[in-house]
Amino acid sequence: MVTVFGCIVHRHNHWLVLLAALLCGGGSWVTARLFQRTVNTSGTQRLGWQVLTAISAGVAIWCTHFIAMLGFDAGAPVHFNLPLTLVSLLIAVGGSTIGFALTTCRIVKVAPALGGAIVGVAIVLMHYTGMLAWRVEGIVSWDVGYLIASVLLAMTLAALALHLAMRPSPHAVNQMAGVLSLAILALHFTGMSALRITPLMLDGTWTDVNELRPLALAVAGTSLVIVCTGLVSYVIDSNVRAESLEHLRRLALSDMLTGLPNRASFNERLDLEITLAQEHGRKLALIGIDLNRFKEINDLRGHHAGDEVLRILARRMANLLREGEFVARIGGDEFAALCRMDDDTRLMNLLERLEPALYKPVRLDDYEVVPGASFGVAIYPDDAATKAILINSADLAMYRAKGSIAQSICFYEPAMDLIVRARRSLAADLRRAVADNQLSVHYQVQTSLATGEIRGYEALLRWQHATLGTIPPAEFIPLAEENGVILDIGAWVLREACARAATWEPPYAVAVNVSAVQFMHADLTALVADVLEETRLPASRLQLELTESTIFAGRERALDTLRQIKALGVSIALDDFGTGYSSLDTLRSFPFDRIKLDQSFVADAEAKPQDRAIIRAVLALGKSLGIPILAEGIETRDQLALLADEGCDEAQGFLLGRPAPLNEIVGSGQIALTGGNRVRPRVPASESAVEADLDPDPRG
């Protein structure tokens, strides 16, 4: 080590040694970054970066040697053999190419170390080939110990450099540059320490080294240009990559349709604004925006028109923003705005600009639409302490505004949060109700008014909540429809009712209500066929009940489905007739097997002549069409007598039998399970009986 240090201090020009070291460090730094690009690419791109890396490394090795040799004081005249000097450069570049290629191929786990060792060999061969090209007027000898040490140092340090370069570390590039520089410098100066020169004063054509310095510096400068070219390539590529990444980031954070920031960008901005609000002790308003009548625009004018409306409204909102305000498209027809509330007037000012912008008519070709919007406002930290709660609070306020006729802007109120949370909790419980065995089917009797005989039972769903007790059907059926749970529940009710009815003696019919959601979203025909096959219930004993609003939700599809179900042998009843649409065209379009007169007409028939007139008209219509009429909601004997006098065919209600579990009906003797009593009993008005469906009214 002392000898090497002495060689550097006493036998070299310090300025040229410094220049060589700087060039070595700079070249290694460029090489390391080019190598990083090689590792991170593939195919022809990798090959290109590999060539640049090898050239950069080879030139850095060669220039370090050349300039350091230029600064070496041999104590005698020297001469450079140009062909061998150029060969040494090719050795450095070629060996580096092989070493870097082996490192990046990753054939074996130790490939980086092996590749680095080859680069080390290239450094050694370049150095000693360069020494052969360096002719001195004297006798040259070598210290074998230092020579071997130089070889081992070069191979070991170069292997370590590429091993470090391939590690998943943020400092890998700098580590490679530092160790590779050390490998080059250690080889050179340890190798030079092995050199022994005995000067000879002979006549000849030897040239003083001072005369070679201009040429040597020119060659070194040219080599430096090559290294810089690699650096420039790296910088240009890095800038292009940075620009591409920034472009991709903008695309990732922008809505492609409107050009506004998207949901991801909104979430980033909201995080930032909440942090700023905390630091500056100010408030932040979040405004949820939902466009009105957007579905109507899509349905009537097509999605192209809907997209154009979104673009126009987005431009309007973007153009009215001021400092501290932000708007983004969350998805579909939903937007969100943020407003820094330095004072309360800023929020109101923004709302006063947003509302008219979204209510202003939009002209599309030869027609005009007025979209409008609903706004829900929540304020941080008054209404929420966290981002998630703030978003939820704004949503609650927005949906309240959407459901309001008088208000387009609603501010968050804690009371409505409690209501919505309770409803969401109930919906979650409803999803688990079947698995938790909380749902059951009760049955309500349907009776012939002429004979008093039982005609069948209607299936009514009941929910016994674990903690809340009995939940009324009027409360949980709409909730099930809103959340889509009705599809699974409806299928369960149908299967349960059919399975139970298959065991009845006498073999009464069972009526099951079908939800509008279930009817439109499920393959009802296949479901009914599968259930009948599973339960072995004759199709003639099953009747499906549906309201006219169910049909109008998709008339042609609905009628086609009804025809398919009827083809199975299942009968179809029109429920709640007299309310909703009550279109005679529906009766003309499909041959229903039963019409159920809504209980609202029966309830006031004794006091209201108009209701009695409607009852007579419906009964007359049924007789004319040959469709039996069943009156719902019979609660008094006077109502029963009135319907009997008017010639009503069938009835159901509390008077004839309340909804009850199957075991109670079996216990009353109305039904025996398979193998039991086959007597068809009459049902006195005071006895209990039941009906099974998804009808939310418990009275049938």
- pLDDT tens string 570-583: 999 988 886 655 56
From 351, 344, 343, 292, select the one nearest 321 (Cα to Cα): 351
Last residue of a domain, one of 412, 437, 454: 412
- Do residues 460 and 700 lie in contact, with contact meaning Cβ atoms separated by under 8 Å? yes
pLDDT in tens, 588-604: 778 889 999 888 888 87
| Residue 698 is assigned to a structural domain of this protein | no
CA dihedral 380, 386, 391, 397 (to 10 degrees): -50
Same structural domain for residues 335 and 474?
no
222 confidence band (pLDDT: 50, 70, 90):
low
Angle at 162 between CA 158 and CA 164, to 5 degrees: 115
Same structural domain for residues 364 and 313?
yes
206 confidence band (pLDDT: 50, 70, 90):
very low
Last residue of a domain, one of 390, 412, 434: 412
Q: What is the mean pLDDT of residues 355-384?
A: 87
Same structural domain for residues 653 and 554?
yes
Please tell me whether the overall predicted TM-score, pTM, comes out greater than 0.85 for this model.
Answer: no
Same structural domain for residues 320 and 459?
no
Structural domain boundaries, residue 374 = 263-412
Q: What is the mean pLDDT of residues 215-221?
A: 59
Same structural domain for residues 338 and 444?
no
Domain count, the chain: 3
Q: What is the side-by-side order of every strand in the sheet holding 409-411?
A: 325-331, 334-341, 283-291, 373-380, 409-411
Rounded-to-integer distance, Cα 684 and Cα 656, Å? 7
Please give the pLDDT value at position 150.
84
Which run of H or E residues covers position 257? none
Same structural domain for residues 394 and 438?
no
User: Domain containing 363 — which CATH number?
Assistant: 3.30.70.270
User: Domain containing 454 — which CATH number?
Assistant: 3.20.20.450
Same structural domain for residues 487 and 465?
yes
316 confidence band (pLDDT: 50, 70, 90):
very high
225 confidence band (pLDDT: 50, 70, 90):
low
From 486, 474, 445, select the one nearest 690 (Cα to Cα): 445
Rounded-to-integer distance, Cα 486 and Cα 548, Å? 18
| Residue 252 is assigned to a structural domain of this protein | no
Same structural domain for residues 190 and 132?
yes
Same structural domain for residues 108 and 234?
yes
Question: For residues 465 and 683, which has the higher predicted lDDT (pLDDT)?
Answer: 465
| Residue 253 is assigned to a structural domain of this protein | no
Last residue of a domain, one of 379, 412, 445: 412
Same structural domain for residues 299 and 330?
yes
pLDDT in tens, 632-678: 989 999 889 888 988 899 999 999 999 999 999 999 889 998 843 33
Q: What is the mean pLDDT of residues 168-190?
A: 85
Same structural domain for residues 340 and 433?
no
| Residue 623 is assigned to a structural domain of this protein | yes
Same structural domain for residues 429 and 360?
no
3 confidence band (pLDDT: 50, 70, 90):
low
| Residue 618 is assigned to a structural domain of this protein | yes
- 3-state DSSP assignment of residue 655: coil
| Residue 418 is assigned to a structural domain of this protein | no
pLDDT at 111 over 50: yes
| Residue 251 is assigned to a structural domain of this protein | no
237 confidence band (pLDDT: 50, 70, 90):
low
